[in-house]
Amino acid sequence: MYKYLLVFTVMLWAVAADAETISEKACIFAAAQKLPFIPGMTVIASRVKELPPELQQKQAGGGSSTKMVEIEVNAAAQDATYSFICIANGRITLATPMGITR
């Protein structure tokens, strides 16, 4: 029960006020669900960015978009930024962890 409450709290904090589209918000939620369970972890900020050129691939039609999501957290007095690749097509949103970037 505690884990679900923490995940819900993290998801509420993760939605950035400047996220422009529904797909960007969905990407942030999907990425927040993939964060590790650490008691006391708080989300400081979240961002949705374009993929770096080395990770971009030609997309087949279909209306899906691929973005990079970064979520800054604080846990155990340490700051960290988790990166995810997110694919959203309007119905399904998938986030794949890329690791800790700092």
Q: Per-domain residue ranges for the chain? A: 2-100
pLDDT at res. 63: 64
pLDDT at res. 8: 45
From 101, 99, 97, select the one nearest 30 (Cα to Cα).
Answer: 97
pTM listed for this prediction: 0.74
Q: Which has more pLDDT, 3 or 97?
A: 97
For residue 95, pLDDT beyond 70: yes
Q: Which has more pLDDT, 30 or 62?
A: 30
Judge whether 59 and 66 are in contact, CB under 8 Å. yes
Q: Which amino acid is at 56?
A: Q
Residues 6+ apart with CB under 8 A from 65: 23, 87, 88, 89
Question: What is the spatial order of strands in the sheet that 93-100 belongs to?
Answer: 42-49, 65-75, 78-88, 93-100
pLDDT one-digit tens code per residue, 42-89: 999 999 999 877 777 655 455 678 899 999 999 999 999 999 999 988
